Structures are given as structure tokens and as C-alpha cells.
Structure 1
């Protein structure tokens, strides 16, 4: 008994910071990092009566549209509500509240969902959903059919990306090329999977972010020199955090580059509906590869969280594969089956978004009004952000062509850099922390995404409601001007 009690009270935890996986500790995700932790502390302080120069915080750190007030699409929510609660379909009063087209769609979906949405679906996703995804892809690209058997539904795009990286990384010497600045999910997942992140710097010299093939080749050659085997290339288009929309010519160059270097493409296309300038349009890598007639292997990703729908919490997304070996496809199917299935609610959400009402349907007019209001507001805010940021001291901002973000560059004085070094942080994190403390605006420092040495950036979203967006930027301008006066050399 004595020895039992001794073990009971003296035994240390099995899982400690020293005993968990080393790669878990190495993985970082700046979008929800130290700055957000500080923001939570400020919220708690305000609740306890502490005074700040602002009343509430303004989260500009993450692409979470509905958290910032964007209204959900009526078509999507009506369809989800009927599929979630089919008993509503039996109410005689239902046609007084819901148009007949969404009632018919919901009935159709329920006839194809065995057991309802409370039952597991096929691990690859509901066939009725994958058929709608394939039809959407075919209409989008206009180059021939997409096969539902090549589509995998997931809880947002992130699990799709996880699967693709799991397949691509087979050893600690395998490398995945990621754009710098990059979305931190990629670096974190590559680290956890014990692969090597091969950064290639995006070009921002002409006022637009773009991919430079010479820089990408330099990155590949350096990796090989360091005994790293490049296996895949990540391209985010439209860009996060950079907001660029790639031209077809640039995409063709990228495909040729991958052919030459024997690389698989991971195309993150979750912002494909977010294009704001008339001289650019979204083109999928699937379309470019098919038109070029190459056999370049492709994983492409789409999500219910972005676009004009912004249903982040519902967790819907999919991955389409192209030119992937059939035996590898079997292994991908196995990985999907290990996780049983993605959220059926998210799957239905994907179907409703990608198969919207057409012109002959009663819901069409309202759907188009809601869609255009959201996209028009995002377009206006993207332009306003670009214009106002470029009027601010020591800030330059490239065109916000698409997605939901700008990635401005901030020139930092030696005094500011030294002050940041004193407290053990980078200059951009110091700047963003000061902005949080003085304005309540939550930003993400550029160091969390990666940036060229000697440069400093921050990411800011265009999701703040339009009614207060200008005031937000003017408040930030006041902070920025004061910051550079205070830390002038």
C-alpha cells in the first residue's frame, strides 16, 4: 500500500513538453499565435474594467467572414435547415416561407443521402455531392468532364491538404516548395510530417505579387545541393496572404517548371471566387494542365469557408486529383476511409453553393443579389485598402487583386528594430503588437508567413464591415504615423 501511494503521488505526467513529439513543438501557426493570445488578454482586461484607447477589438487577422458580420446566403441556409430537419418538409405552411426550388432540392438531396445527414457517408463523400462538384468543375473550366471518382470531400480544405502532403512526403529528405510569404498551414504540416519546407520568394517588384520561375529554380537547386529532394510545389491562387491572381501565362510557366523538375502541384484555389480587378480572372491549374496536354500530377483544393459564402464553421471542402497513379489513388482512398467521412452538413453546403439556383428558378434573384452585394463590397474595400495604405508613412502595398488580404511592406527604422530586439521579438511583431495595444486592430506579422530578409510586412483582411472600414483604416493610419514619429532615427 505504501509503495502504491508513493507511485500515485510521485509519478510524473507521461506527456510533458519534453516527451511529446519534437515536430509538434516546432510547428507554428502565426494566424492564431502570440498576437491573438495578447488580444484575448486585452479582452479579459477590458471586462475587468481596464481602460484602453478603444472600446472593442477589431479582428483583421483571419479570413472568417461571418464572424465579422457577413450574412449567410439564404439559399444555402434554407437548404441546410431542411436537410437537417426533414420534418419541416411535411408542414403545409412551409411554401409560405421557403420557395419551391429549395424545397425540391432538399427533397432530392434527402433521397440520395442514405440514412440522412446523421449517418456516415461514403468515405470519399456523398455521390450526389461529388456529382455536383464534378458538374461545377466541368462548367468552370469548359474542357471536358470531371470524374466524381477523382473528388474527395473533406472538412474544409485543410484536411485535403493534409492528405496530399501525407502522400507526397515519404522521408525526412523530401521537400515541398512553398511560396514566401506563405500560408502557415503548409509549413506547420510539413514540419509535423518530418518533411522539408523549400521556400521560394514571390516577386513584388512591380506593384503586383507574382511567381518568378528563376527564383523557383534557384530554390530547387539550393535544396538539391543540401541533399533535399523536391517532390511537390504549393501554389496559392488567388494568393493568401498576398492577394495576387496569377495570369495564365505565369501558370503555364509554372506547369513547365514542374514538368522539368518532376514536381506534383498542390493548387490551393479556395479563393477562386474572390477576384476584384477587371483585368484578371481566375483560371484553374486543372484547365491549364489539360490544355497544355501534360501529365503533370495535380491536387487542387476548394472550400466552403471562403468565396462569397464564408461558411467557415460548417467545415465543407473538397480535393480533386488529376493524373495521379491509380495505386496512389487507392492509398488516398485508404487515408480518407481512416477518417470515416467528412461532415455531411459541410458536404451538403458544398452542393448548394456549387449548384446554385439558375435563372428559371424562384430563388435566383435573391441569390444573385446577395452574392453580388458581398463581392461588390469586398471589391470596394480591397481598392480602398490599397489606396489608403499607400498614403501612409513608410508603407507600400501591392494591388489587392483577389482573396481577402493585403500584405503591405513597412519600412522600419533602426530605432524600431533595436527596440524590438530588446524585448526579444521581430520588428514586424513589435509593430503589430503596438497596433493592437493602441487601436485594438488585430493583425498578423509578416514573419509568421515568411518574408525576404531585411523586409517587414503585416497581413490585414478586407472583411471588416464596409460601414466602418474607412474609419478602421484611418485609425490605423493615425497609429502608423505616430509609430514612425516615435521611432524615427
Structure 2
């Protein structure tokens, strides 16, 4: 075989005057696109080296890092049956924006909560999961390099990943925790300060995640009303990520869809809202990638161009999977016994989550080196490591969590994955695993900190 520096002699023609061409076999590296080079996922950048550093362990591996409890609790049987029933009928293409039956079911679901929304199938796009919905919307909305998207901190890192990939910018606004009410909320005072800065005139939209990943926040109706008044004042479009929907953990905690809150206000603000949601978390089918966008426009038609742009972009990949779209009307517009089955299943799942959240909270609160931030919804719990005063060495959140994995074989995500300061020493727990697993993980975390904090205090 020729070496990379060899040349091949190619004779063209059959006479002595034939030309001889020299071809180099030293192929150049073809660079990836700038979009690919800009794409960076902080979770993978932190977690992959963690996992690579772990050797064989005498303790079983417990991962509390991935928001996918589907391996511990069965998915909603009604959506499973719907896909199975229509499998053989779903081999062909469908409209890029989604099947009519799926879009109508989503529209009716929105209007059932608030008829004044007047959502039709034309306001809906079915997508490849909620993450795919957000990427589609960001592409239709943000223009590189000047447009800026306001995102929460702490927040789901994918928001920033997509924006960086597109060459756009993000600006974080803070979520803060009230220790008296044990609730997370948006710091609206700080948010208005950001909006008042004249050099921030390129803010294109603001994203809100309710219920929240990673905090587990569920915002009250009053808080959402104050938020909408602020957005109305500054003419700010809102992207509302509602993938966790009614996954609430306390009887006094109620989920309110932002568009419904807007339309119930008197006078109603003219804030344009695009709602992103899906079936993955609420019906335990995250691998099916079933998501959607709903455009809740105002009287001025502010979202008309963006909606049309998103519909055009949906044609690039010919839309979401045909077969899984049958799950949407089954989940959102059930009839007869299916409605009862879904109601029973959702209540069992909600109670299971509540029990699991309570169990891991109770264990972790036993440690003097941990501060537990009570969640209100979703499936996430934020915990802060509080080492002894005047430690001999200072560790980052990534260092704490890496050592936890190495010593106790428990994987959690450091707060820096979600935009928090590494020096604040937060980590996130997913409480989708069974109670016994969560309690075991909690005791291992406490044992690790007892040793680690004793060492740093010496």
C-alpha cells in the first residue's frame, strides 16, 4: 500500500506524448462547520471525564444524573397502546408540521384549560421532542450574531448549547430561593435592571422554564402575572418551556400555563408567547421524542413571521416521526375508559415522585454539611455542600462530585452544569429512582461528606 507521501503516476493516452499526472495521497483534514465547532455541551464535558476516571468499584453504581425515570416506572399504557394499534398504518410521510389529528388534540388541550386562547391546529407544530421544539424555535427566531436570548440561571444547559451552536448570545437572569417560603422564583428586580441597560437593546426574547429544571420550581400565578407585566412593559417575547407540566409535588402547588395566565389577566397584556412542551416527561416516553410548539400570538400578529419561519424550517427534516404522533391525541384527548386509565396512572406516578422526593430529602437533611432546597415540581432537587468554616483547601462543585463518584460510585451533576458558580458547591439530584435506591445514595453521600469535610478541616 502506498504511504501518505507517495505519488501515483497516471498515463493519459497511448502514445509517447501522453501527459503524466502526479496525484498526492496526502489528504487534508476537512474542517467541520463553524456551527459544529461552536457546539459544546457542558454536561458531557464534565461527566465524560468523570466516568472515564472510575475504575472497578466494590459498590453498585447509582446514577442520579439523568432525567429519565422510564426504566423504573412504566410509561402511560394508553399512549403505548395507541402507538401499537397504529404501527402498521404509519409507514408513510405526514405533513412536516405534524398530523392534523395530533395538532388538533394539542389545540383542544390548550383551549380546554382556557377557551379564550382560541388555539387552532394552524398554531401548532409537532416536533422531535421538546428539545427539538426549542431548537426549531430558536432557529426561526434568533439571528446571528447580535440577537440575545434571556435564559434562567440556574437553568437547563441546552438553551445555551443551542444558542452557541447558532452563533447567537445568551444573557442569564437569576432565579433565587426564599428560605422562608421554601420556593424558587425569578428575581424580577434584577431582570428589570438587565432590561433597562441600553446596551442590551438586542434582547430578542426571554425563556421561562416552569416547572423548572434543575431547581424544581413551580411559579405561582401571581408571580407569573408580575413577570408578564414586566415583559409587556419592555415588549419582550416569551418562550415558555412547559415540558414538565402538571408534575407538581405538593397539594398546595399548582402549575399554571403562561398563556392561560396571560388571557385571564384584566387588562390582558399583549405579550406574545410560544409554548414548548411534549409527552416525554409527563407520560414517561422520553425516548419517543414527542414534542410541540404552540404559538399564542397577540392582537398585533407579532409572531406571524416567526411561526411561518418555523413551519418552513420543519420541512428540512420532513417533520417528526409519524407513528409516535398517534400518542398525542391518545394522551391529550382521551375518551371513555382511556380517560380514567390516564387519570389513575398520572396520580400513581405523581404520588411515587412525591414519596421519592420526600425520602431523599429526609436522608440528606441529616447531614450538617448539606443544605437541601425543597423542590415543588418536576423531578429534580438542588443540594448545596456547606463545608466547615476555614477549610485548608477549597474545592469546586466538579471536584466534590468527581470525588463522590470515585469513592461512593454515586453520580450527580455539579451546579456549574446549569450556570451556577462552581465555588457555590451545588449539585442536582434526579429523584426518579426507587425510594430504596435514593436512600442508599443519600447515605453514601453523607458518608462521603463526613470523611471529606473532616479532611478539609484538618
Answer whether TM exceeds 0.5 for this pair.
yes
CA distance in 2, matches of 1:176, 1:208: 25
Match of 1:39 among 32, 46, 51: 51
Taking the aligned partners of 1:202 and 1:466, their CA distance within structure 2 comes to 29
Q: How do residues 36-435 of structure 1 correspond to structure 2 at under 5 angstroms?
A: 36-39=48-51, 42=54, 45=55, 50=56, 52-55=57-60, 57-67=61-71, 69-85=72-88, 116-206=89-179, 207-222=182-197, 224-225=198-199, 229-292=202-265, 293-307=268-282, 309-323=283-297, 324-358=302-336, 361=337, 363-412=338-387, 418=393, 420=395, 427-435=396-404
Q: Which structure shows the higher helix fraction? A: 1
Measure how far apart 1:452 and its partner are. Answer: 4.8
Per the alignment, residue 419 of structure 2 pairs with: 450
Offset of residue 37 of structure 1: 4.7
Contact in 2 for aligned 1:357/1:367 (Cα 8 Å): no
| Distance in 2, Cα, partners of 1:364 & 1:328 | 35
CA–CA distance in structure 2, aligned partners of residues 228 and 413 of structure 1: 44
Contact 2:124–2:293 (CA under 8 A) maintained in structure 1: yes
| Whole-angstrom distance in 2 between the partners of 1:73 and 1:344 | 19
Mapped partners of 1:61, 1:280: distance in 2: 25
Unaligned runs of 5+ in 1: 86-115, 421-426
- What's the CA shift for 1:327? 3.3
Q: Residues 279-320 of structure 1: CA distance to partner in whole angstroms, max 9, x if unpaired?
A: 11010111112223222111111122102x110111101110
Shift of 1:273: 2.2
- How many Å separate the matches in 2 of 1:414 and 1:7? 69
CA apart distance, 1:221: 3.7
Deviation at 1:40, TM superposition (A): 5.7
Deviates further, 181-190 or 379-388: 379-388
Superposed CA deviations along residues 373-425 of structure 1, whole A, max 9, x for unmatched, are 211010111222333323223221222100110111222468879464xxxxx
Return the alpha-carbon distance in structure 2 between the equivalents of residues 30 and 294 of structure 1: 36
- Change over 3 Å in CA distance of 1:186–1:475 after alignment to 2: same
After TM superposition, give the deviation of residue 228 of structure 1 in Å: 5.6
Structure 1 CA distance, aligned partners of 2:350 and 2:30? 51
Aligned with 1:407: secondary structure?
Answer: strand
How far apart, CA to CA, are the structure 1 residues paired with 2:8 and 2:241? 55
Q: Which stretch of structure 1 is more off in the superposition, 464-473 or 33-42?
A: 33-42
Is this contact kept in 1: 2:110–2:117, CA < 8 A?
Answer: no
Asked if the contact 1:59–1:443 (Cα under 8 Å) also holds between the matched residues in 2, the reply is: yes
Distance 2:23 2:360 in 1: 61
Alignment RMSD, CA only? 2.4
Query: Could you list the per-position Cα deviations for residues 66-119 of structure 1 after superposition, in whole angstroms to 9, with x for gaps in the alignment?
Result: 13x22122222122111114xxxxxxxxxxxxxxxxxxxxxxxxxxxxxx3111
Aligned to 2:18: none
Distance 1:212 1:419, change over 3 A: closer
Give aligned pairs, total: 434
1:460 aligned to 429, 438, 443, which one? 429
Stretches of structure 2 lacking an aligned partner (at least 5 in a row): 10-21
Return the offset for 1:208: 1.7
How big is the shift at 1:254? 1.0
Task: Return the alpha-carbon distance in structure 2 between the equivalents of residues 462 and 356 of structure 1.
Answer: 29
Hey, what does 2:27 align to over in structure 1?
11
Structure-2 separation of matches of 1:189 and 1:417 = 39
Q: Deviations over 1:136-180 (max 9, x none)?
A: 111233545321110100010112111221232123221111110
Q: Taking structure 1 as reference, are residues 73 and 329 closer, same or farther at Cα in structure 2, changes over 3 Å only?
A: closer
SS in 2 for 1:203: strand
Shift of 1:366: 4.3
Higher strand share: 2
Sort the Cα spacing of 1:417 and 1:433 in 2 relative to 1 into closer, same or farther, 3 A.
farther
How far is 1:25 from its partner? 4.0
| Contact residue 359 and residue 435 of structure 2 kept, 8 A | no
Following TM superposition, by how much is the alpha carbon of 1:255 offset from its aligned partner in structure 2, in angstroms?
0.9
TM-score normalised according to structure 1 size: 0.83
Structure 1 CA distance for aligned equivalents of residues 335 and 103 of structure 2: 18
Q: Kindly tell me: are residues 384 and 282 of structure 1, through their superposed partners in 2, closer, same or farther at Cα, counting changes over 3 Å?
A: same
